[in-house]
Amino acid sequence: MDTVTHVLFGAVCAGAVIPRPSTTRKDLRLQLVVAATAAAFPDIDYLSFWLNPLVFLADWHRTATHSFLLMPVWAGLVGLAFMLFGAARKRWRIVYSLCALGITSHILLDLLTVFGIRIFYPFSDSLYSFGTTFVVDLITTAILAVALYLYLRRPRRSIALSGVALILLYWGTQWSLKAEAQAIAADQVAVATHVHALPQPFSPFYWKLIRGSGNDYEVAYLSLLAKKEGLFTFYRGVAALHWRQYTLLGNNDRQQPIILEAWEHPLFSKFRAFAQFPVLYRVDQEESKTCVWFTDIRYTLPFLKPAFRYGMCRNVDRGWHLYRLKRFTENQRQLLPEVGSFSD
């Protein structure tokens, strides 16, 4: 999730465990800052994006800094940073505990999204995800912001605990809505295929439905409240769903051999490992260069260019090279380092 929501959740969780009667205002502010800072810490792995964006997505993001097994180590390191302040040194046990709480709150929040976390890294590379909440969820953020505001005005554990209880109730509702959306997708499947329901922005009643078989997918945008079109017209009621077809190799038989060659190239192994629902984005054919671009429909929205667009480009007289299309641009390419120079 976004950093603001992580900070808010870390602070509210701290408020729920701090024994207020024995805590001064000054100590309370320090403890909230410690927990909030620790809650933001795991996303420090974003710094590795600038080394290699694709390896970051496939191997580095939400691994070491998001592991429950390594959480005690990170809590100690963040706690050490606060030891520069005298007030924190006097209460180092509390500081360490709040750092552990903040980092744990971050991991729990990220488990709600579809990206997936390696919570048992480095002993397991398995990804875990509930997939109930969009990466930016304004309702979650608003609930936490109001809870923290009320707690700061009147620091009582009951207020923070009420905020935590309310947010858990909201997340439980999202889980129920996900099950309903997935059942709708399954009801419309004529043959045995995999069906998925992914959360969308703006509303917990908006879902992306994916049904797929092999390298072919169909995608529809569902509003659980609308009969025909939702407030955002891309999202439709059950009776008005519009399924769009996507495929890994495209529909142009003449282009499929070069698309397959790009997809199976060794330099493209990290994208193959990252993408759960890989599809062809487009093929650019210029005078002396051909570029084949792919994306993952987990991260596509009907009103934005896909966030992750990676591909292989080949000159007529040269071999393949790995590129990405920069976010929010149509054609801005970034040449990426060969994956082998960082990690296999």
pLDDT per position as a tens digit, 319-344: 899 999 999 899 999 999 876 544 43
pLDDT at res. 303: 86
Tens-digit pLDDT profile for residues 98-146? 999 999 999 999 999 999 999 999 999 999 999 999 999 999 999 999 9
Tens-digit pLDDT profile for residues 6-51? 999 999 999 999 876 556 777 888 899 999 999 999 999 999 888 8
Burial of 65 from C-beta contacts in 10 A (0-12 / 13-18 / 19+):
buried
Tens-digit pLDDT profile for residues 301-324? 988 899 999 999 998 777 899 999
pLDDT at res. 316: 75
- As given in the structure block, the two tokens for residue 331 are 């054609």
pLDDT at res. 20: 64
- As given in the structure block, the two tokens for residue 5 are 């929501």
Strands 278-285 and 244-247: unpaired
- As given in the structure block, the two tokens for residue 139 are 């309702």
pLDDT at res. 341: 44
Residues constituting the chain: 344
CB neighbour burial string for 163-192, b if at least 16 within 10 angstroms, e if fewer: bbeebeebbeebeebbeebbebbeeeeeee
Which residues are paired to 312 by β-bridges?
292, 322
pLDDT at res. 29: 86
Q: pTM of this prediction?
A: 0.90
Run of H or E residues at 11: helix 3-17
278 pLDDT above the threshold of 80:
yes
pLDDT at res. 30: 85
pLDDT at res. 21: 58
CA angle 316, 321, 327 (to 5 degrees): 120
84 pLDDT above the threshold of 50:
yes
CA 33 – CA 40 distance, rounded (Å): 11
Tens-digit pLDDT profile for residues 55-64? 999 988 999 9
pLDDT at res. 342: 42
CB atoms within 10 A of CB 312: 24
CA 317 – CA 48 distance, rounded (Å): 33
Run of H or E residues at 263: helix 256-263
Tens-digit pLDDT profile for residues 166-201? 999 999 999 999 999 999 888 876 655 688 999 999
Tell which wins on pLDDT, 222 or 288.
Answer: 222
Average of per-residue pLDDT across 229-248? 88
* Cβ proximity of 222 and 209 under 8 Å: yes
Helix, strand, coil share of the chain (percent; to 5): 50, 20, 35
CA 206 – CA 133 distance, rounded (Å): 11
Work out the mean pLDDT of the chain and round it to a whole number: 90
Tell which wins on pLDDT, 307 or 88.
Answer: 307
List of residues 6+ apart from 79 with CB closer than 8 A: 34, 88, 92, 95, 96, 99
pLDDT at res. 260: 96
